[in-house]
Structure 1
């Protein structure tokens, strides 16, 4: 997956030149350890390592020649699925100045878009990176260690240890199978059935965080409920065959020290409860999300990370499946405040490219705003604006 993040800066005086912006951001990026590494992957049979990336940060920052928010979204739709290869270009950043008609902002804004390989950081880790790029000083977040090269001895040691690691992974694999960690119900319907082609659309709508305030529930739960209500109304409006649907909810398993890059995830399934009324949907989704969070914090979730650590790399490396994935919903909160050459960040959002999902929803909170990003396949969701409006109106 290639997550992208959007940062809208506005309310300042004369906008800075692109050269000024690039100089500042390149300097800040050079002070963040995580933005100075790339992957070295000499063999499919051993896990990749981090190595120092000699490419100057300035070469990963370029200007985007657009004039309106509509053009920004068009660029994202065309480039969200670009290959961000962690072995050669783990991240990139584009700057669009003088952007008009940005929702949730007034006047012309500077919009910064970052894209990075998910191998580099998950959403929570990238939120820390954002503090280093647009906050008040560098962040120490980065890999535990880097290597200059992988020696032959490394190959020998890891190959020799494969039988032992497989044997050690058997017990946690059996326990994972019993708990259902990572198992998503693959219901075939008008939204999730395999598509012959993929044509991505993206919509990003900033909303007041008050809209997501549901008594006793989190922003993520509110986002899942909004997605369920929107899909329910959408399928009824267009008489689609979607009798059952489950959401794929990725939850971070935090481990390691403060500067460690986590990227350990467990997937949990949450039923969209399409046949229920809106209030019952909320109750059922809220209960399922509570169970999911308890699971992610428990010892069984650690098994998922343990199994990934034990199994040989070749056994867990897979290409993106050609068929459409279930609907995915996730969220996280950015800490702030963020700024760019003295101009404050108005709101921040983001999404995921290259995930091949029929529909992906991400709610990102910053300040008093929650930006709800919705993306999907136009062959599965033929009326994206209608769906997004129905979600927003939940």
Structure 2
């Protein structure tokens, strides 16, 4: 297991980080068992879905070892409330049942019938793919989910880096970091936007947790990209919720790194200002500039040096470092006041049990200093803007969704 993936695995004991990828389909399968068998067959044909973790020694990195795909990895749920909101409420409860990837590396949950799915007139089917972050970052996870439902595009290649000699890797990381500082001072690289004061959205998650999803056609998301349009709308909605306190708003946006991935997780968080005081056109330009500047910082040689230094870190040292993390500690400042995770999942060419896909969503997990997260996910021309919120961060989720709906 690559060091960055092992870090996600060990950290999951302190901050649960299973992700839940939702796929909604139009109708009920004529033969649910056959639909399930088809998904299991697809999983068995994908090497990355036929393994589990073996964590044998505290002095070595965990290993991915072969594991058969079993029928137990499919759970069919009989909903007491078969509405779309009732289904999302059931999904919330699954976050309390994190996977032990030494036993079960992923699981699929099936809900049918579900009524009121956006874009579905009658009954529909919701399939939820649960997976640990150590198995995949966003882009790779989307490709794996699409594979399960019929897409034949191979998963992105992963090419592990050689660990190398740690002292040399550390010296190289220090050298390229100094280069980054010089390039920033010279104006060749834009600096990061810095830390922000905490807002209610940074409250420790407590109380009722809620999932919600708004749906738009791609043409209804004006801007240079769908991601920028969504960020601008989140800015308006949070400003309406918090008033003047929201002036310093910033969001963490996961962004894939360039090049061939050396691990299953190959991304970083870009921090963008949300600029709620600016008019929409100017705000969109500033958000797009922050994203572009973050991309340029990712492409600086210092970032590759950092990744190679982490890859060379002895397992015992990284495991010890993770053990020191205190999830109960409260910072005085944060990089972002919310998360907006965005991913295009390609054409609407997927099926489950013969049913066509109508939308896909992901609800990024909450953490001890992040009580509100957003997902922006496209399939075909349909964009799902999803919200995961704790009552301690957003006391009235429906009021927030009204603000977000209006902003969109």
Structure 1 residue 350 and structure 2 residue 362: aligned? yes
C-alpha distance in structure 2 between counterparts of 1:254 and 1:38, whole Å: 27
With over 3 angstroms needed to count, the CA separation of the structure-2 counterparts of 1:189 and 1:98, relative to structure 1, is closer
Aligned residue in 2 for 1:232: 239
Q: Is the 8 A contact 1:30 1:57 kept in 2?
A: no
With over 3 angstroms needed to count, the CA separation of the structure-2 counterparts of 1:339 and 1:320, relative to structure 1, is farther
State the SS of the aligned residue for 1:191.
helix
What does 1:365-384 align with in structure 2 at a 5 Å threshold?
365-384=378-397
State the SS of the aligned residue for 1:391.
helix
Q: Which runs of 5+ in 2 are unaligned?
A: 1-16, 185-189
Count of aligned residue pairs for this structure pair = 371
C-alpha displacement at 1:44, in angstroms?
4.3
Q: Which runs of 5+ in 1 are unaligned?
A: 146-157
| Cα distance per residue 1:229-275 (max 9 Å; x no partner) | 11111113xxx744422111111114337xx7541222221112133
C-alpha distance in structure 2 between counterparts of 1:203 and 1:104, whole Å: 15
Aligned residue in 2 for 1:72: 87
Aligned counterpart in structure 1 of residue 214 of structure 2, from 205, 209, 212: 205
Aligned residue in 2 for 1:329: 340
C-alpha distance in structure 2 between counterparts of 1:85 and 1:205, whole Å: 32
C-alpha displacement at 1:138, in angstroms?
7.4
Structure 1 residue 251 and structure 2 residue 255: aligned? yes
Q: Is the 8 A contact 1:181 1:301 kept in 2?
A: no
What does 1:86-235 align with in structure 2 at a 5 Å threshold?
86-137=101-152, 139=154, 165-172=169-176, 185-192=195-202, 194-195=203-204, 197=206, 199-214=208-223, 217-235=224-242
C-alpha displacement at 1:293, in angstroms?
2.7
Q: Is the 8 A contact 1:185 1:269 kept in 2?
A: no
Aligned residue in 1 for 2:29: 15
C-alpha distance in structure 1 between counterparts of 2:153 and 2:326, whole Å: 34
With over 3 angstroms needed to count, the CA separation of the structure-2 counterparts of 1:3 and 1:392, relative to structure 1, is same
C-alpha displacement at 1:317, in angstroms?
3.2
| Cα distance per residue 1:87-122 (max 9 Å; x no partner) | 332211011111111122211011101111111111
Q: Is the 8 A contact 2:192 2:294 kept in 1?
A: no
C-alpha distance in structure 2 between counterparts of 1:183 and 1:229, whole Å: 19
C-alpha distance in structure 2 between counterparts of 1:390 and 1:262, whole Å: 36
Q: Is the 8 A contact 1:95 1:110 kept in 2?
A: yes
C-alpha displacement at 1:311, in angstroms?
3.0
Aligned residue in 2 for 1:152: none
C-alpha displacement at 1:288, in angstroms?
1.1
State the SS of the aligned residue for 2:134.
coil
C-alpha distance in structure 2 between counterparts of 1:328 and 1:207, whole Å: 20
C-alpha displacement at 1:168, in angstroms?
5.0
- TM-score of the superposed pair, with normalisation by structure 1: 0.83
With over 3 angstroms needed to count, the CA separation of the structure-2 counterparts of 1:73 and 1:320, relative to structure 1, is farther
C-alpha displacement at 1:297, in angstroms?
4.1
Aligned residue in 2 for 1:310: 312
| Cα distance per residue 1:116-162 (max 9 Å; x no partner) | 111111121122212321124474567669xxxxxxxxxxxx8x965
Q: Is the 8 A contact 2:135 2:264 kept in 1?
A: no
RMSD: 3.1
C-alpha displacement at 1:354, in angstroms?
4.9
| Cα distance per residue 1:348-378 (max 9 Å; x no partner) | 1112225442211110000110001111221
C-alpha distance in structure 2 between counterparts of 1:92 and 1:142, whole Å: 23
Aligned counterpart in structure 2 of residue 83 of structure 1, from 91, 98, 101: 98
C-alpha distance in structure 1 between counterparts of 2:350 and 2:326, whole Å: 34
Structure 1 residue 388 and structure 2 residue 401: aligned? yes
Aligned counterpart in structure 1 of residue 38 of structure 2, from 15, 21, 24: 24
- TM-score of the superposed pair, with normalisation by structure 2: 0.80
Aligned residue in 2 for 1:151: none
With over 3 angstroms needed to count, the CA separation of the structure-2 counterparts of 1:384 and 1:45, relative to structure 1, is farther
State the SS of the aligned residue for 1:308.
helix
Aligned residue in 2 for 1:269: 271
